[in-house]
Structure formats: structure tokens, C-alpha cells
Structure 1
Amino acid sequence: MKKILVVLSEYGFWGEELVGPLEAFDAHGYETVFMTPNGKRPHALPPSMEVGYFDPPLRKVVTDEYYAQRTREIDESDRLAQPINLCTWFPERPYFSSDEFAHGLEEYYNKRQQCWKELEQYDALLMVGGSGPIVDMVNNQRLHDVILGFRALNKLIIAECYAVTCLAFAREWEDRKSIIAGKHVTGHALEYDYKDGTGFLNTDLNMGPPPYPLEFILRDATQPGGQYHGGVGRTRSTVLDFPYLTGRSTQDSKLVGELAVQVLEQGLQRYGW
């Protein structure tokens, strides 16, 4: 049986971006294990459960009745009730100015290596998108180390929407080089970013536009030799350049799941470019 580690934000995930891959995994009998940054139960963003939600930049409805209902069912079930607490699993890298820095850094690397051994039980990593990851996943050093662990094990790493940013920022501390340099990825295109209304679950914050243009980050991070694919004007933009499988947005979710299964069952290495 394949086993998938699924990372969800505690500040809201987009329902279809979980449901799409999850249905593909369930259909093939895969075990899915959920994890959040601090072990809190994750919840879907309200618009992803609202039938007929109208996306301003896309100028179309992006939440249909089926995915809204499936998202509500999962959100209200016990399936997400007891996620792994990333904060108590992977170690925190010490500050350079901390006391006993050298010993602390050695302890950190040893503990991280032990955690990487524990990742061997998983066949793939899925990071679900939405606005929530901007808050607690994108610049999360522990999650970066999870990604680096899957990369070291040459296992499939899946990221959707704004969670793709995690790939751009996950870097070994010594050389700080992008792990997606030379690779092909997709992610939220500038044309599809909000100008207003970027919000997060359990807060009253409206950031207006997203705090960063993901397209620019990915264009820079994939160089030299790689490429960002925005797929502007196309319904889907899903790119597989093993070990990375990336989906631009909500509409890619089902295909992301189907391609993940093809990678795990048939050894697919490339798609979408």
C-alpha cells in the first residue's frame, strides 16, 4: 500500500485542492496521513465550500456543487482531527548567535537525519494550496527540511497553488541554492492574483493582493536552465518534472491526483512541458 504525507495549513486550505488528489489516492487504496505546522486541526477556506463562489481575477465560478459538498464532508468528518504536529517532529535550526551554536547545529543535523529516516515509510509528499500556506508553510524551516528529506530519498513531491512557494524557499543552509533550479514548474500566475481580498482563516486580515507575486519567485528560482509555466488562458496548468509535481490552481487538483498515481504506479517522470 502506498502512503502519502499530506501537509495542510492551519490558516485555511482550498477544499478542491485537497479533494482532487485525495479522491485519486483513496480510489487506489493509498493511506493518507495528515500533518499541520503546529498539530492543530486544519479547516477549509469558506469560499471553497461556497457553491458558486466567483473568482474576481478569473471572472468565473470556481466552486461547484460537487467539490463544495465533498469539501464540507471532509471538513466536518474526523479524518483531519488528529494531524501530525510538525513542530514536535522535525527540529528547529539554531540561531547563529545562540549559545553553544556548534553543538546545537550538530544536534540539529543529527536529529534531522533521524527524521529523514522516518520519511522512508512515505511514498510521496503533498502540500495543499490556498491562501493559508502563505502564513505557516511557505517560510517554515521545518517544512523545508521535510521537502529536502523527500528530495534526498528521491520521492515524489507535490505542491499546489501558493504552496508551490515552499519549493522555491526550501534550500540547504550551506549553499542556499534553489532546489528547483533547472526544473520546470507551474504556480499561481500574476494575471490570476487578487488585487484585493487575500484573507486567512481565523483572522480578520485582508492583505489586499498576495504578499508576493509567486510567478516572479518561480521564474527566478528555476534558473538557470529551468522554466516557470503559467499557462495563462488555459484551463489547467499542471507540470511534472520529477520529483516535483506542481499544479497552478484549483482546476488542476483532479489532474494532480491522477498524475501522482501515474508517477507512483507507472514511473511517469514528465508531463506538461
Structure 2
Amino acid sequence: MAKKILVVLSEWGYWGEELVGPYDVLANAGYTCDFMTAKGRKPPALPPSMDETYVDPPLGVCVTSEHFARRTKEINDSALLSTPISLEAELAFMPYFNSQNFGHELLKFHELREEFWKKFVDPYEALLLPGGSGPMVDMVNNERLHNLILGYVNRNKLIAAECYCVTCLAFARDWTDRKSIISGKHVTGHAREYDYKDGTGFAQMYGYDDQPMDTSANFGPPFYPLEYILRDATAPDGMFHGGVGHSISTILDFPFLTGRSTQDSTLVGEVMVKCLEEGLTRYGW
């Protein structure tokens, strides 16, 4: 039976290495990947992740190697990501509380969600959420994505999230108790010391007519300080690990595998394989 991973990417720009790192490791280990985006449009790589001269302002060093710049360009220019699955087309929103026949519609939603899980959770070994700035726009507060993540929690399957995509885990909550799924867990993510003060960029935004705007834009600092969200979501019995002063911060507290940033990407793939094939449940803490 084929070993499959479901990968959800942002249509507002993913960081190349955060896809390429785990993707190449998984492919070499015999896994295939299916790709999904919020609306089924091709996800673009963020331009700096294809530029080997790019210097990350908070770190003050170049964070895009020649290898990952080249591999990101290869994937970005290929047909690999050209026809992703549309999350919007596969799962409706939960009905509004004040909508007509809310009780009956909520029951129908849960039945449809179970069918959605059978299609997009059961056939896959794990869920992978590569980061970058784009996820802040169309993934972090995406209720459909939250319900996909809840399916992997329900089936006790591995969920790997990198950089700003770790916030998706903080906000994925069962509608009834509204408690974060990472409460009591150990996770990592973008530390406050490494946040941008200005110039957070997004790539090839799509307009209301669904046509690419073929541009990029800077929107000042990140929309939120990720570390603070993760500290609150994991409290009181879990922990946020920032790894400040260390080049790598990768944490596995099954079923959650989290990578702080670009440098963790290959290791995230390696730990995914060890988790799936050797039963590893804890790493990095």
C-alpha cells in the first residue's frame, strides 16, 4: 500500500525550504504527497526563499542556501503544485449559530465532516503544514483547516507544522470545549526574538476574481507574536520551546511535530519518518 502524506500550503506564499526539506526526505523514504490549498489555487513560493543572497533581518544572516533556492525554483516552476485539492470545495463551513435550523444543520455538518475525514485523513499517514508568512492569511484562522486537523487528532495520526503554521494547531479546537488541541503539549515556533519588526512579505495574492495579482507586498510586522499564542495555548501543563541561540528547534510530542523555522525543515522530514516507521513519539525535549 502506498505511503501518502497530505500537505496543505498557503496561496499567499510558503517558504520554499519548509516544503522542500521534508518533501525530499519523505520522497526518498518512499512516501508520496498530495497537495491541498484553501481554494485549490497554485501556491507560490515566497521570493526570498528562492534568493540565495537573501539576508534574514532578525537573524542577520543568509537563510536561503544555493541548494534550497534551486530546489524551490524547480518545484515552483514545475507542475507539482499546479492543481492542488481545494479545501473549500471539499468541506463546508459549520453553520452559523443563528442560521435557520441550526441543530439539524450542525448534525448534517458533523456527518459530512466524518465523510471528509474518511477521504482526507484515513488514506494518509500524516498531515504536513509548511510555514512562511502566507499561512497567516489563509490557514491560521481557516475553520475548514481546523476541522481537517481535528480529523488527524481524532484518528491519532501525526501532524507536522512549521513556523507560522504552528498557530493552526493553537487555534484548532473542538466546537464544544474550545480548548486548544496543544494544551499540555510541548511545541516550538517562531520565537519573539526572531520576529520581524517590519517588512513581512506575501507573494502573488489572488484577487476577488480569483486571478493572480502577480505581485508581492510587505505588510509591516507579523500579524501576531507567535510565541505568545503558543505559550498561552500549551499552558498550564505544556511548554513552548523557543530554542533562542540555537540554530535548530524541532519538537515532537506526538501527535504533534513542530519546527521553529527554515533551518528545521530537513530534520522535520527525518523525524516524521522515524515517527511513522519506528514509532518515535518524543523528540527535542
TM-score range, shorter chain: over 0.9
- Which residue matches 1:222? 234
User: Do 2:184 and 2:234's aligned partners in 1 also have CA atoms closer than 8 Å?
Assistant: yes
Residue ranges of structure 2 left out of the alignment (5+ in a row): 206-215
What amino acid is the match of 1:242? Answer: F
TM value normalised by structure 1 = 0.98
1:40 Cα deviation from its structure 2 partner: 0.2
Q: What is the CA deviation profile of residues 91-118 of structure 1, one whole-angstrom value per residue up to 9, with x for unaligned ones?
A: 2111111122122111111101111122
1:202 Cα deviation from its structure 2 partner: 2.2
Instruction: Please show how residues 226-265 of structure 1 align to structure 2 within 5 Å.
Output: 226-265=238-277
Q: Does 1:125 align with 2:137?
A: no
- Which residue matches 1:193? 195
Q: What is the CA deviation profile of residues 72-106 of structure 1, one whole-angstrom value per residue up to 9, with x for unaligned ones?
A: 00000111111000001122111111122122111
- Which residue matches 1:157? 159
What amino acid is the match of 2:177? Answer: D
Runs of 4+ in 1 over 4 A off after TM superposition: none
- Which residue matches 2:173? 171
Residue ranges of structure 1 left out of the alignment (5+ in a row): none
Q: Secondary structure at the match of 1:93?
A: coil
What amino acid is the match of 1:45? Answer: L
Instruction: Please show how residues 33-182 of structure 1 align to structure 2 within 5 Å.
Output: 33-118=34-119, 119-182=121-184
User: Do 2:7 and 2:129's aligned partners in 1 also have CA atoms closer than 8 Å?
Assistant: yes
% same residue? 62
RMSD, matched Cα: 0.8
Q: Secondary structure at the match of 1:120?
A: coil
Task: Work out the CA distance in 2 between the residues paired with 1:117 and 1:179.
Answer: 20
What amino acid is the match of 1:234? Answer: H
Q: Secondary structure at the match of 1:216?
A: helix
Q: What is the CA deviation profile of residues 36-93 of structure 1, one whole-angstrom value per residue up to 9, with x for unaligned ones?
A: 0000011100000011210000010001110000000000011111100000112211
Q: What is the CA deviation profile of residues 138-158 of structure 1, one whole-angstrom value per residue up to 9, with x for unaligned ones?
A: 000000000000010000000
Q: What is the CA deviation profile of residues 190-231 of structure 1, one whole-angstrom value per residue up to 9, with x for unaligned ones?
A: 000000101211255422110100000000000121000000
TM value normalised by structure 2 = 0.94
Q: Secondary structure at the match of 2:147?
A: helix
User: Do 2:54 and 2:63's aligned partners in 1 also have CA atoms closer than 8 Å?
Assistant: yes
What amino acid is the match of 2:81? Answer: L
